[in-house]
């Protein structure tokens, strides 16, 4: 309205009329001779500070622009995140000063499994300089407590991952695996403790940590509007790969991941398995010293999964460290040189897959095939009405291994579980071998408790999220 009134009133003819007071005019606000309808409000100076000008709005706009520019700089420099870290640590220290809270917060040493306790002692007693010489990743009392519901998601983890190791982090949903990854990448603030990647602290040098880490998240974080080649090229540039080597690097990585035929298609049109391949490629590009893989093979077909295992083994043999989470025990046994099972934010056990099976094995699985008269191979048999040949085998097992349990029966085939208490591999093999002719045993196998069984035994103690 000021623009319209100024166009009418701000001219020499109206000014003369107002000065001479020839007749009343609404534009004559200076002389007050506006007539019965009153004077209209108009301001010829567009930059005026009053409500009719835009001077005030432009001033505030400039001030806000400068203010928000500096806020963006502070956000990029992680100043607010550092302040949050500081406040969280102060809050934790205040809580720890309360003896009741502290006794509930800190881990009872007696509750820790032997290997977990030994690793904690190694991390706590050695100097950081000593640990950095051998370990790419170091956890020192790494803890995450959510203030919203006071949930302790990660509970004082202590761990060192040497160069060239593939470390498996196992646990059901809610155990703390993804939270641990998000602290390592800077997505979540650390409540207390610290972690170090190639000597850099995640609480003090998160920008440098991010330069040392390749991350494949649990859910694909890729742009559907870009092709696979464009996605890998973008991350290669972000990683600092030399421009002249980017195309060569992409072609090599795509060939390893068996994604070359789809490289120039939009990522949004990829299958779930191919999206996981691209996400894994993003984590591997630029050859970071530490690679975090959160269920990298989910959605992949068996052939692609096996091929990716070969790629990850090559990465490990190259001296880089890998932290892997997976729900596939077969995958963990194929890739991991060491692993830990997590429940309620804690490590329940720690060691190589074979070490864990040896230590926590509950027994042996024995499968026996006996020679049968007749031909009904593959048919299920009633356990209460066994044929004579199988009944003889059953009576023998009950006599030799009273605690044995007959789990499954098919025609000519019996599967037993034998508890490990007081029974050795040698005794089981010796007993079966000596009785082959007597019981007409065609063949037999004795296997150890699987890693999956060890995993299930530990995860029974997981407290479900509220």
Name which residue leads in pLDDT, 391 or 450. Answer: 391
Name which residue leads in pLDDT, 413 or 17. Answer: 413
The percent of residues in the chain predicted with pLDDT above 70, rounded, is 85
Q: Which long-range contacts (CB under 8 A, 24 or more apart) does 376-382 make?
A: 376/411, 377/411, 377/412, 378/410, 378/411, 379/410, 379/411, 380/409, 380/410, 380/411, 381/409, 381/410, 381/411, 382/409
* 350-364: average pLDDT: 84
Q: What share of the chain is helix, strand, coil (3-state, %, to 5)?
A: 45, 20, 35
Question: How do residues 72-128 score in pLDDT, each as one tens digit?
Answer: 998 887 777 777 767 766 766 666 555 444 444 455 555 778 899 999 999 999 999
Q: Are 23 and 13 in contact (CB under 8 A)?
A: no
Give the DSSP letter of residue 258.
Answer: T
* 231-260: average pLDDT: 89
**Structural domains of the chain, with CATH:** 109-360 (3.40.50.300), 363-448 (3.30.70.260)
Question: How do residues 271-295 score in pLDDT, each as one tens digit?
Answer: 888 888 899 999 998 889 999 998 8
326: enclosing H helix or E strand: none
Which pLDDT value is given to residue 99? 45
**Strand ranges for 172-326 from DSSP E:** 192-197, 200-201, 213-216, 290-294, 321-325
Split at pLDDT 50, 70, 90, the class of 7 is: low
Of 311, 326, 315, 317, which Cα lies nearest the Cα of 258? 311
Which pLDDT value is given to residue 322? 93
* 374-390: average pLDDT: 72
Which pLDDT value is given to residue 93? 64
- Cα–Cα distance, 443 to 369 (Å, whole number): 5
Split at pLDDT 50, 70, 90, the class of 138 is: very high
Question: Mean pLDDT over all residues of the chain?
Answer: 82
In a 10 Å sphere around its CB, with 0-12 CB exposed, 13-18 middle and 19+ buried, how is residue 138 labelled? buried
- Compute the radius of gyration of the chain from its Cα atoms: 36
**Per mean pLDDT, which range of 54-58, 166-170, 336-340, 428-432 is the poorest?**
54-58
């Amino acid at each position: 309205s000021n623009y319209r009134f100024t166009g009418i009133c701000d001219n020499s003819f109206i000014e003369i009329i107002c000065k001479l007071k020839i007749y009343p005019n609404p534009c004559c606000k200076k002389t007050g001779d506006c007539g019965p309808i009153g004077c209209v409000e108009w301001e010829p100076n567009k930059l005026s500070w009053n409500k009719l000008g835009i001077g005030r709005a432009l001033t505030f706009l400039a001030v806000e622009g400068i203010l928000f520019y500096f806020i963006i700089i502070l956000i990029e420099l992680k100043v607010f995140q550092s302040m949050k870290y500081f406040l969280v640590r102060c809050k934790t220290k205040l809580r720890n000063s309360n003896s009741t809270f502290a006794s509930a917060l800190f881990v009872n040493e007696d509750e820790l499994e032997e290997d977990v306790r030994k690793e904690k002692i190694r991390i706590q007693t050695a100097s950081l300089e000593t640990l950095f010489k051998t370990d790419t990743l170091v956890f020192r009392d790494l803890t995450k407590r959510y203030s919203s519901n006071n949930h302790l998601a990660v509970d004082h983890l202590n761990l060192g991952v040497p160069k060239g190791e593939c470390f498996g982090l196992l646990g059901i949903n809610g155990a703390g695996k993804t939270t641990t990854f998000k602290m390592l990448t800077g997505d979540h603030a650390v409540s207390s403790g610290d972690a170090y990647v190639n000597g850099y602290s995640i609480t003090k040098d998160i920008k440098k940590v991010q330069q040392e880490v390749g991350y494949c998240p649990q859910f694909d974080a890729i742009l559907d509007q870009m092709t696979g080649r464009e996605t890998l090229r973008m991350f290669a540039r972000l990683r600092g790969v030399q421009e002249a080597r980017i195309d060569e690097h992409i072609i090599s990585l795509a060939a390893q991941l068996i994604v070359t035929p789809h490289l120039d298609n939009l990522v949004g049109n990829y299958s779930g398995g191919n999206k996981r391949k691209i996400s894994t490629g993003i984590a591997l590009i630029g050859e970071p010293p530490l690679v975090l893989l959160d269920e990298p093979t989910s959605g992949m077909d068996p052939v692609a999964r096996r091929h990716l295992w070969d790629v990850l083994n090559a990465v490990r043999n190259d001296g880089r460290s890998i932290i892997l989470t997976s729900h596939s025990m077969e995958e963990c046994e194929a890739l991991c040189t060491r692993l830990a099972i997590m429940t309620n934010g804690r490590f329940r056990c720690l060691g190589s897959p074979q070490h864990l099976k040896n230590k926590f094995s509950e027994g042996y699985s024995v499968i026996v095939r006996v020679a049968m008269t007749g031909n009904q191979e593959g048919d299920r048999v009633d356990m209460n009405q066994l044929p004579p040949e199988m009944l003889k085998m059953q009576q023998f097992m009950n006599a030799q291994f009273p605690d044995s349990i007959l789990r499954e029966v098919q025609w000519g085939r019996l599967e037993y579980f034998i508890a490990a208490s007081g029974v050795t591999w040698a005794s089981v093999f010796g007993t079966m071998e000596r009785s082959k002719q007597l019981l007409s045993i065609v063949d037999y196998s004795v296997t150890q408790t699987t890693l999956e069984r060890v995993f299930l035994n530990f995860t029974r103690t997981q407290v479900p999220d509220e």
